[in-house]
Amino acid sequence: MPKYYEDKEEDGRACGGVREDLRQCLLESPCVLQEKKSPKQCLREGHCRSLQMTFFACKRSMVSVCSVFSSAGGL
């Protein structure tokens, strides 16, 4: 279950809460704990997929908002 809505230190970065949840999910996954693989490798193998998709959607929404502002400057 995502925990980004609970008390956490603010890291000030876009999508920081979801990023932290994805990090925790990977660090607590059997892939890292039992198989001793790196979190990056486990992410590539599809672990914590729903949080990964949520994080990328959040980042994508930040990019699309920025592109609206940058393209409006040329009007």
Q: What is the pLDDT of residues 6-40, one digit of tens each?
A: 555 556 677 889 999 999 999 999 999 999 999 99
Which residues fall within 8 angstroms of residue 45, CB to CB, at 6 or more apart? 31, 37
| Amino acid 63: pLDDT | 73
On average, the pLDDT of the chain sits at 82
> Would you place residue 55 in the very low, low, confident or very high pLDDT band (cuts 50, 70, 90)?
very high
The predicted pLDDT at position 13 comes to 75
DSSP-assigned letter for residue 74 = T
In one letter, which amino acid is 59?
Answer: K
Distance CA 45, CA 41 (A): 6
